[in-house]
Amino acid sequence: MRIKSIALLFALVLSPAALVLAQQPQQNPASPAPATAAKPQAQEPPQKSPTTIKAQVNLVDVLFTVLDRRNKLVSSLEKQDFKVLDDNQPQDIRYFSKQSDLPLRIGMLLDTSNSIRDRLKFEQDAADNFLFSVLRRNKDEAFVMTFDDEPQVVQPFTGDTGLLRDQILRTRAGGGTAVYDAIYQACVNELSHPPRPPGDQPDIVRRVMILISDGEDNLSTRTRAEAIEMAQRTSVVIYTISTSTQWVTLDDPNKERSGNRKYHLTEGDKILQDLADETGGRSFYPYHVDDLDQSFQDIGEELRNQYSLAYNPTNHTLDARYHKIKVEIPDHKGYQVRARRGYYARANQNTASKPAAMAN
């Protein structure tokens, strides 16, 4: 008998349904239901389940700089001063902000192919001077990538200029040139998720690429259009520095120092110019590293004093087509805007409620 009682207890413990039934009063099916059962139970108002509304937000964000006739920064404009066109169609500006003194995340891309062997020392000095001119201690970070036959990160993100310089000075030239692959990989693998600022600072950084090369590509698996698109999608501004000196014609040796030079851009130089123009950066064609001193200071100032706006394209369709962007300042004809020239209408252009450039 004791064994049967234990077995019954064990069965009830294992069966929640049996336990619930055991707690309910037993009724005879033939007998009428108790009077209390006939009374209607008080009904509680139905609980409203939370509703999830999914909507795709196709925000296009534009980061830009405004310069006056003397190429000096203009940082006092407001939202109402600007007009944005998408394929020549006026758009309503949804977000607008002035962004100053943001942490920089810089990708230093050095061409180490055989074609720049004679200008390798120039590359090293230019990269070193830029980092020492622009990088701020405990705020900005940079990485160094070299590329010849293929891209390679030789120094990950760091704020230590000494480590960056050491890796720059160790570079050696040799092999082919894969410029577009380097830009693409730098955007996807490094600049798309750069280190966050320390402490409680807002998680907003400025993504920058400094590309030092002759612009001649002969090995990339990616195209120039793909490289530009990836830079635009990750909000990377590209500044290019040409290593070519073929555009310099010196009829008189004294002209070299006086700056009186005849310019003739090579095909590689035009590619560098296109990469910079399409992403809102600038291209430089120096003969000496000293020619870049003022340019580096200007770049540093530009990157810390920019505007940002975003809009929902009224003519938006996910057609993968390239759309041209133009930012205008109607009441200030002498001002020039430096911004990326367009974007590709992909399905995952932006999926958040804020533009990617503002949220990262």
Same domain as 263, residue 167: yes
Please report whether residue 3 resides in a domain.
Answer: no
Q: Please write the tens of the pLDDT for every residue from 106-129.
A: 999 999 999 999 999 999 999 999
Would you say residue 28 has pLDDT above 50?
no
CB atoms inside a 10 Å sphere around CB 208: 25
Q: Please write the tens of the pLDDT for every residue from 45-61.
A: 555 555 554 445 578 99
For the segment 11-21, the average pLDDT, to the nearest whole number, is: 39
Same domain as 200, residue 81: no
Would you say residue 255 has pLDDT above 90?
no
Q: From residue 62, give the alpha-carbon distance in Å to each of 92, 194, 336.
A: 13, 19, 15
Q: From residue 14, give the alpha-carbon distance in Å to each of 10, 20, 165, 176, 230.
A: 6, 12, 70, 72, 59
Would you say residue 76 has pLDDT above 80?
yes
The predicted pLDDT at position 60 comes to 92
CATH number at residue 202: 3.40.50.410
The predicted pLDDT at position 242 comes to 94
Please report whether residue 210 resides in a domain.
Answer: yes
Same domain as 119, residue 266: yes
Same domain as 315, residue 294: no
Please report whether residue 28 resides in a domain.
Answer: no
Please report whether residue 359 resides in a domain.
Answer: yes
E strands within 148-265? 151-158, 206-213, 236-242
Same domain as 174, residue 148: yes
Same domain as 236, residue 258: yes
DSSP letters along 106-141, please?
A: EEEEEE-SGGGGGGHHHHHHHHHHHHHHHPPTTT-E
Pairing of strands 336-339, 141-147: unpaired
- Using the structure block, give the residue that is written with the tokens 């993504």: 207
Same domain as 274, residue 133: yes
* DSSP conformational letter for 249: B
Task: Give the sign of the dihedral formed by CA 237, CA 243, CA 249, CA 255.
Answer: positive
Pairing of strands 93-100, 141-147: unpaired
Please report whether residue 82 resides in a domain.
Answer: yes
Domain count, the chain: 2
Would you say residue 21 has pLDDT above 60?
no
Same domain as 122, residue 187: yes
The predicted pLDDT at position 315 comes to 77
Would you say residue 13 has pLDDT above 70?
no
Please report whether residue 219 resides in a domain.
Answer: yes
The predicted pLDDT at position 89 comes to 95
Residue 96's domain comprises 53-101+309-360
Report the share of the chain in percent with pLDDT over 70. Answer: 74
Same domain as 277, residue 255: yes
